[in-house]
Homo-oligomer: A and B are copies of this chain.
Amino acid sequence: MINFSLFGAGRIGTLHAANIAASHPRARLAYVYDLDPTAAAVIARKYGATVAPSVDAALGDAAVDAVLIASPTNTHVQLITASARAGKAVLCEKPIDLDIELVERCRKDIAGTGVAIQIGFNRRFDRSHRAVRDSDVGAIELLIITSRDPGPPPHSYIKVSGGIFRDMTIHDFDLARFILRDDPIEEVFATGSALADPALAKLGDVDTAMVVMRAASGALVHINNSRRAVYGYDQRVELFGAKGMVQSENLRPSSVRRYDCHVTDAKDPLLNFFIERYQQSYLDELHEFIDAVAGKRRPVVGFDDGRCALLLANAALESMRSGQSVRVNLASRAG
């Protein structure tokens, strides 16, 4: 049995709590900590956990094996470091941090602890995207990731989000690295516009973006993003190679097709957003983490994956600002 401390009792923390408590036979939610103890109490009561009065209390119990970090981004590095030093395995929501300096420092700080660290790139566990990665298309030549949210977040969120590349595209950067396997991305070009909400421009951000990247092999990667797709959460991957192509298509709540005077073979709008679309992948991500902790092995998506995705996001931001493509070196410290 793996005992968890959960940091963060918001939307995504609530989802993880339910997955820990209800869906995995080897996991138990032991402590919940949140700056708002009322929010923590709601989760704790539901799943028979204890509200921790402090981070230290949630880490101090020797019976706790692992922590799940679902608190605001700017607390991630501190909680990862404290948890790792306390010998707890860590599953931390993405991104590690918006500041690559802090990420690099955290990397050094936890270097000797030997604990398992998994970053919450849940899309790696989506069965359709994973089937794309596991398909044999021959040598990879083109990878195209379409990733569009159903609607933009409020400006208050945008202001602390780190911008579209570090907040939203970061999932796509990680997915690209996951699919390219050991073929490192070396060059990034990005551009963007504030079209869905022109007021974003005043915040220095965009809501519509395109990225082109080049891997060492010469394989080319394209990502396109929008913060507002009126037909739902659009999540597609297309992988093209010497022997063929494979695509992961969108998911919908049912399989119905409609025919009338105006349309034929019409499907319903897409699953609304990440909670619905990636419901199973959040669960599979947790299973992977628990299996890694129980099996004393490293999770398949680790701290360095979080760092590399941030490096790509930073390069995209730099490229958008400069209008030039930016070279990256994911092997060592880069920027």
Contact = CB atoms under 8 A, between A and B. Distances in A.
Interface in A216-245: 217-220, 222, 224, 226, 228-232, 234, 240, 242-245
Q: So how many copies of this chain end up in the complex?
A: 4
Interface in A237-262: 240, 242-262
Interface stretch (A66-74, A174-182, A191-199): A191-199
A8 B220 CA distance: 37
Contact of A261 (B219, B231, B240): B231
Interface residues of A, number: 74
A264 interface: yes
Nearest to A126: B254
Contact of A269 (B231, B255, B264, B323): B264
A179 B222 CA distance: 21
A80 to B, nearest CB: 32
Interface in A117-148: 127-128, 130-132, 135, 139, 141-142, 144, 146, 148
Contacts of A36: none
The CB with the most chain B CB atoms within 10 A, among A222, A242, A250, A324, is that of A222
A132 B266 CA distance: 13
A333 to B, nearest CB: 22
A193 B212 contact: no
A199 to B, nearest CB: 14
A259 B231 contact: yes
Contact of A254 (B218, B219, B248, B253): B248
Given A265-B265, A267-B266, A132 B256 contact: yes
A203 interface: no
A267 B264 contact: yes
Contacts of A131: 254, 256, 268
Contact of A263 (B23, B130, B209, B267): B267
Contacts of A161: none
A8 B70 CA distance: 42
A245 B229 contact: yes
A249 B265 CA distance: 11
A210 interface: yes
B249 A127 contact: no
B229 A212 contact: no
B194 A218 contact: yes
A173 interface: no
B256 A243 contact: no
A319 to B, nearest CB: 9
